[in-house]
Amino acid sequence: MNSKITVETIRAMKARGEKIAALTAYDYPMAKLLDECGVPMLLVGDSLGMVVLGYPDTTHVTMAEMEHHIRAAARAKPNALLGGDLPYHSYETAETAVADAKRLVAAGAEYVKAEGGKEILPQVKAIIAAGIPFCGHLGMLPQHVLEEGGYHIKGKKEEEHQRLIADAKALADAGAFAIVLELVTLPVAKEISQMISVPIIGIGSGPDCDGQILVTQDLIGAFPWFTPRFVKPVVSCAGEIKKAVATWQSAIGVAGK
């Protein structure tokens, strides 16, 4: 049996120049399957709002919903490092950030992730001081999609470029064990990955990050109604499910569509 993955394991992977694979898991069977595949880092992301719960964006996801799905994934007892997102408005102050991070840990999360840089440093420091591993999230911040009017690539403007570097340094200095970079220009993502000592895990930010994270449903074509432009599904699980249902319906004498 492989040894349990820890935040130190993830840090060491960067030091060795080993790419880090991370995927989302919102329930027991997916967490178990991905763990059996040897994926070292799993995230119960608030993206479950769209992929599982049918919300238009992540801003509708509640703490109770995050706890529910973390408990489900944690029941798989994965060898992988399992974390959870702090949902929208759950870390407005240092006090609420720590209290809500503790709720996610009690549900089974081994690390928590929150969106933002210098503006949430008090919250980040408080979470880490409470003994809870923290993963940062910079670039496009899905919890800010409404105020930003959609999903936009970050780092094109020099002001954004410098802010991303400053925020990444601040998070690393505060003790974050890793940072997700979402929809950041390839040159800026590469620069940050080379400059910052902690693992930089990209999503839609090019191949030069220390690792990659995807929503699993995007990777396997299980959410066919929307696929991000930067993802090429490896298989079409939705198509295979439709074929299986059609075959079964035919076998029991049900006329197909």
241: helix, coil or strand?
Answer: helix
**pLDDT of 255:** 76
Q: Which amino acid appears at position 139 of this protein?
A: G
pLDDT digits (tens, 9 = 90+) for 149-158: 778 899 999 9
The predicted structure's pLDDT at residue 148: 80
Q: Does pLDDT of 6 surpass 70?
A: yes
pLDDT tens-digit series, residues 200-217: 999 999 999 999 999 999
State the catalytic residue, choosing from 67, 110, 182, 191.
182
Integer angstrom CA distances of residue 211 from 22, 133, 204: 7, 18, 11
pLDDT in tens, 226-238: 998 899 999 999 9
The average pLDDT across 54-59 equals 96
Give all domains of the chain, ordered by start, each with its CATH number: 7-219 (3.20.20.60)
Give 170-193 as a DSSP string: HHHHHT-SEEEEESB-HHHHHHHH
Rg (C-alpha) for the chain, rounded Å, is 19
**What integer is the mean pLDDT of 58-76?**
98
Is residue 12 classed as helix, strand or coil in its secondary structure? helix
What's the pLDDT score for residue 2?
Answer: 74
Catalytic annotation present for 158: no
- The one-character DSSP state at 154 is B
The pLDDT > 90 percentage for the chain reads 93
pLDDT at 214 (0 to 100): 98
Q: What ranges make up the beta strands (E) of the chain?
A: 20-24, 41-44, 81-85, 111-113, 134-139, 178-182, 200-203, 211-214
Name residue, tokens 């959609």.
Answer: 150
Q: What pLDDT score was predicted for residue 10?
A: 98
pLDDT, averaged across the chain: 96
Say what the pLDDT of residue 147 is: 82
